[in-house]
């Protein structure tokens, strides 16, 4: 089974880019973030033509998440479970989960926080606290869970292109890193770090200043799994090819991340 996550930075601008990626990579389950559209405008027909069923939790102009299931594998089995993080609905459409047989697959678009002086930074920390509490109260790490998305945090200095200069700044604070660690304490394991413990690699690059080509990036997009799922992990890749412009199609500022799991 191939699982993937991708912050697409606006579905209207990226639809042809995404369907091309789906045809080439053929993931079974995909978590999308930053749809920037309401559910009624979601192009279900285009995704069905590409071979995918979609569950959506959208919002006008901002946020929005979706789960895609490939129709010839898991799509017909998708069962919507949770829409929105309990207690954090005012912060927008940022969480969606579905069950596929024994696997619970959740996609999240975690708050950015803007900067340390902005009110949204404290709200970001509270959102992460609510996410950890949601798993502690409603789920068991002995079960099969995958949590994926754009977390807007660099978990360690290895995940930033310039930790020395950025340490203590947004995405790099101890408070944010403690929230990621809390998810690990509950039971989640970072797929990429499980197979690549010492590799510096990034999933997001600013559009400005040639950041992608200069390797000035951050690793903030993750696939996390509970131990039973992680034992099935065979490969994980940050798909840098789809951060490049292809045949005139403009990419998101995030690359997709995908992982392959052995059969249970």
Name the superfamily (CATH) of residues 2-261.
Answer: Endonuclease/exonuclease/phosphatase (3.60.10.10)
- Please count the other Cβ atoms lying within 10 Å of the Cβ belonging to residue 248: 6
What distance lies between CA 67 and its chain's CA centroid? 11
> 165: burial class by Cβ within 10 Å (0-12, 13-18, 19+)?
exposed
Which residue numbers in the chain have pLDDT < 50?
none
Mention every residue, 6+ apart, whose C-beta is less than 8 A from residue 24. none
All structural domains of the chain with their residue ranges: 2-261
Q: Provide the token pair at 252.
A: 């998101």
User: Rounded to an integer, what distance in angstroms lies between the CA atom of residue 4 and that of residue 28?
Assistant: 8
Whole-number pLDDT of residue 241: 97
Q: 3-state SS of the chain? A: CEEEEEECCCHHHHHHHHHHHHHHHCCCEEEEECCCCCHHHCCHHHHHHCCEEEEEECCCCCCCEEEEEECCCCHHHCEEEEECCCCCHHHCCCEEEEEECCEEEEEEECCCCCCCCCHHHHHHHHHHHHHHHHHHHHCCCCCEEEEEEECCCCCCHHHECCHHHHCCCCCCCHHHHHHHHHHHHHCCEEHHHHHCCCCCCCCEECCHHHHHHHCCEECCEEEEECHHHHCCEEEEEECHHHHCCECCECCCCECCEEEEECCC
Residue-wise pLDDT for 88-134, tens only, equals 999 999 999 999 999 999 999 999 999 999 999 999 999 999 999 99
What distance lies between CA 2 and its chain's CA centroid? 14
CB 199 within 8 A of CB 238: no
Whole-number pLDDT of residue 264: 85
Whole-number pLDDT of residue 38: 98
The model's pTM is: 0.98
């Amino acid at each position: 089974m191939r699982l993937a996550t991708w912050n697409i930075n606006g579905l209207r601008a990226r639809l042809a880019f995404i369907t091309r990626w789906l045809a080439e990579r053929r993931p079974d389950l995909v978590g999308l973030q930053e749809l920037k559209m309401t559910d009624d405008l979601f192009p279900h027909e285009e995704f069905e033509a590409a071979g995918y069923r979609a569950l959506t939790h959208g919002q006008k102009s901002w946020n929005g998440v979706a789960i895609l299931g490939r129709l010839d594998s898991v799509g017909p089995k998708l069962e919507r479970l949770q829409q929105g993080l309990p207690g954090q609905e005012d912060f927008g459409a940022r969480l969606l989960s579905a069950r596929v047989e024994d696997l619970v697959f959740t996609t999240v678009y975690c708050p950015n926080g803007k900067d340390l002086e902005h009110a949204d930074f404290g709200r970001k920390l509270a959102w992460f606290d609510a996410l950890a509490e949601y798993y502690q109260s409603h789920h068991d790490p002995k079960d099969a869970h995958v949590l994926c998305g754009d977390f807007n945090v660099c978990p360690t200095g290895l995940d930033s292109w310039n930790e020395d200069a950025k340490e203590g700044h947004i995405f790099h604070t101890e408070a944010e890193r403690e929230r990621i660690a809390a998810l690990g304490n509950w039971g989640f394991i970072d797929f990429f770090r499980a197979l690549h413990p010492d590799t510096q690699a990034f999933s997001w690059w600013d559009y400005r200043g040639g950041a992608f080509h200069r390797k000035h990036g951050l690793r903030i997009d993750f696939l996390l799994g509970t131990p039973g799922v992680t034992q099935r992990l065979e490969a994980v890749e940050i798909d840098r090819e789809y951060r490049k412009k292809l045949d005139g199609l403009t990419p998101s500022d995030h690359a997709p991340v995908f992982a392959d799991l052995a059969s249970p």
